[in-house]
């Protein structure tokens, strides 16, 4: 099917033949690369200047055979590039050094180093644009909108299966019959005359304004615009495209349709243990079963202060600020015993820890409210309270 479409396009293009314009060139097709090299040598050797060779692929030795001189297009690029560099230099120098001085970190207004990227960019930009414009204007010979070789049987072959050469009618040595017999003697498989295209039967003087040409340009422009519009505005945003700020995620305290119960926050799986936090292993056990672990915290000012703070917050409402059992709850809760009793004083720290964590009779557990370390800190502070009420004689002797 693809082949058929291509053929159709071919036919459409070749419709313009035979053309009615002036003679542009005489061309010949050869079957082998050797033939085209010999022909190129012969043609350039015979003194023809306005000729060219077209081959389906680049061929070594062709430049020499054609006696081509070094192309001058590089000089155009160099000139354009250098004006780009200069222009950029002047532009930045005037903008930041004279017109709009900005103090940035105390640096000089104008400096070469940071200007280099811009100078480079403008160099490349100007040389590229100039070269393209130069190609269109000079080599494509504006205002003609295409080379007369385009859409010819000759061009069709030299871009696929044959090797072609043509000599322009403008060549000073041009003689149609002579050239034709030269090509035949070199073994050309076909020799064509190529005529200039005449637009609108010669009515359109300026081919750039040719109705078909301009119409096609406008058509391509409109199609490109429509396609870009749809691509950039719709195609790019089809699912699964998603803006980053519209992510499928659960927010704390918000509704979630993902789970049946509609909550976004989930309970951890039962038995989950937080990293670095092993649950109290003697929970609910009798005092006597508790393995006595020593208080893991050192006695420092900070820890005692932390202990005091938490004791005052969590324990003092029932036990009183000094642990004497003077509850501030005015009988709304059973008054606890004093913490200065012989019993509690002789307890190991682990016993007190057990009471705080586990609770005891009517005293509830403070496991949830007070962190592990804070519990141990409270115990250090409680020891300080106890010692303050029951100081041994040695304390008074300053030992």
Count CB neighbours of 306 within 10 A.
19
Q: Name the minimum Å distance from CB 257 to ligand HEC.
A: 42
In the shown chain, the binding pattern of residues 263 to 302 toward ligand HEC, with x for contact by CB under 6 A and - for none, equals ----------------------------------------
Please give the size of the binding site for ligand HEC, defined by CB under 6 A: 24
Reduced to 3 states (helix: H, G, I; strand: E, B; else coil), residue 365 is coil
In the shown chain, the binding pattern of residues 310 to 349 toward ligand HEC, with x for contact by CB under 6 A and - for none, equals ----xx-xxx-------------xx-xx-x-x-xx-----
Q: Name the minimum Å distance from CB 265 to ligand HEC.
A: 29
DSSP string, 9-67: HHHHHHTTPSP-S-EEEEEEEESSHHHHHHHHHHHHHTT--SEEEE-SS--TTHHHHHT
309, containing H or E segment? helix 301-310
Q: Which is nearer to ligand HEC, 278 or 362 (CB)?
A: 362
Instruction: Among 356, 358, 376, 385, indicate the residue that binds ligand HEC (CB under 6 A).
Output: 356
Q: Which is nearer to ligand HEC, 160 or 332 (CB)?
A: 332
- Report residue 141 as tokens: 């010979």
Q: Which is nearer to ligand HEC, 23 or 363 (CB)?
A: 363
Q: Which is nearer to ligand HEC, 184 or 360 (CB)?
A: 360
Considering only residues 361 through 380, tell me which ones interact with ligand HEC, judged by CB under 6 A. 361-363, 366, 370, 378
Q: Name the minimum Å distance from CB 388 to ligand HEC.
A: 16
Task: Report whether 315 contacts 297 (CB < 8 A).
Answer: no
Instruction: Among 355, 376, 385, 386, indicate the residue that binds ligand HEC (CB under 6 A).
Output: 355
Long-range contacts of 33-41 (CB under 8 A, 24+ apart): 33/59, 33/163, 35/163, 35/186, 35/187, 36/62, 36/163, 36/164, 36/165, 37/61, 37/62, 37/65, 38/65, 38/186, 39/165, 39/183, 39/186, 39/188, 40/65, 40/66, 40/165, 41/65
Count CB neighbours of 290 within 10 A.
19
Q: Name the minimum Å distance from CB 310 to ligand HEC.
A: 7
Q: Which is nearer to ligand HEC, 191 or 350 (CB)?
A: 350
Residue span binding ligand HEC (CB under 6 A) among the ranges 11-19, 159-167, 242-250, 309-317: 309-317
Q: Which is nearer to ligand HEC, 288 or 361 (CB)?
A: 361
164, containing H or E segment? strand 163-168
Q: Which residues pair with 165 in a beta bridge?
A: 28, 53
Q: Which is nearer to ligand HEC, 275 or 330 (CB)?
A: 330
Q: Which is nearer to ligand HEC, 13 or 314 (CB)?
A: 314
What is the rounded distance in angstroms from the CA atom of residue 24 to the CA atom of residue 197? 9
Q: Name the minimum Å distance from CB 343 to ligand HEC.
A: 5
What residues have CB less than 8 Å from 149, skipping those under 6 apart?
A: 24, 25, 54, 155, 166, 194
Question: Where on the chain is the footprint of ligand HEC (CB under 6 A)?
Answer: 314-315, 317-319, 333-334, 336-337, 339, 341, 343-344, 352, 355-356, 360-363, 366, 370, 378, 382
């Amino acid at each position: 099917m693809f082949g058929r479409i291509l053929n159709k396009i071919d036919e459409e293009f070749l419709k313009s033949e035979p053309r009615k314009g002036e003679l542009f060139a005489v061309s010949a097709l050869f079957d082998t690369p050797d033939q085209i090299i010999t022909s190129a040598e012969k043609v350039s050797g015979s003194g023809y200047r306005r000729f060219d060779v077209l081959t389906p692929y680049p061929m070594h030795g062709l430049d020499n055979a054609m006696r081509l001189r070094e192309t001058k297009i590089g000089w155009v690029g160099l000139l354009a590039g250098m004006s780009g560099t200069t222009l950029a230099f002047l532009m930045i120098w005037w903008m930041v050094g004279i017109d709009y001085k900005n103090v940035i970190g105390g640096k000089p207004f104008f400096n070469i180093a940071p200007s280099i990227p811009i100078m480079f960019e403008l160099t490349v930009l100007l040389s590229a644009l100039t070269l393209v414009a130069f190609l269109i204007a000079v080599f494509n010979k504006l205002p003609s909108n295409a080379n007369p070789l385009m859409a010819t049987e000759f061009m069709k072959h030299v871009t696929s299966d044959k090797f072609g050469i043509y000599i322009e009618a403008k060549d000073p040595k041009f003689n149609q019959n002579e050239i034709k017999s030269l090509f035949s003697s070199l073994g050309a498989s076909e020799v064509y005359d190529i005529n200039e295209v005449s637009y609108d039967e010669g009515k359109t003087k300026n081919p750039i304004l040719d109705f078909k040409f301009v119409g096609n340009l406008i058509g391509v422009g409109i199609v490109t615009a429509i396609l870009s519009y749809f691509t950039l505005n719709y195609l790019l945003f089809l699912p699964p495209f998603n803006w980053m700020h519209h992510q499928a995620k659960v927010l704390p305290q918000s509704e979630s349709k993902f789970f049946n119960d509609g909550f976004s926050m989930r309970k951890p799986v039962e038995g989950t243990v937080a990293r670095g936090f092993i649950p109290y292993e003697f929970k609910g056990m009798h005092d006597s079963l508790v393995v006595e672990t020593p208080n893991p915290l050192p006695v420092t000012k900070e820890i005692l202060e932390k202990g005091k703070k938490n004791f005052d917050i969590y324990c003092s409402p029932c036990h009183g600020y000094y642990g004497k059992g003077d509850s501030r709850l005015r009988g709304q809760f059973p008054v606890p015993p004093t913490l200065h009793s012989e019993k509690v004083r002789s307890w190991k720290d682990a016993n007190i820890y057990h009471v705080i964590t586990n609770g005891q009779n009517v005293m509830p557990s403070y496991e949830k409210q007070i962190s592990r370390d804070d519990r141990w800190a409270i115990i250090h502070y409680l020891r300080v309270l106890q010692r303050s009420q029951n100081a041994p004689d040695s304390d008074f002797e300053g030992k």
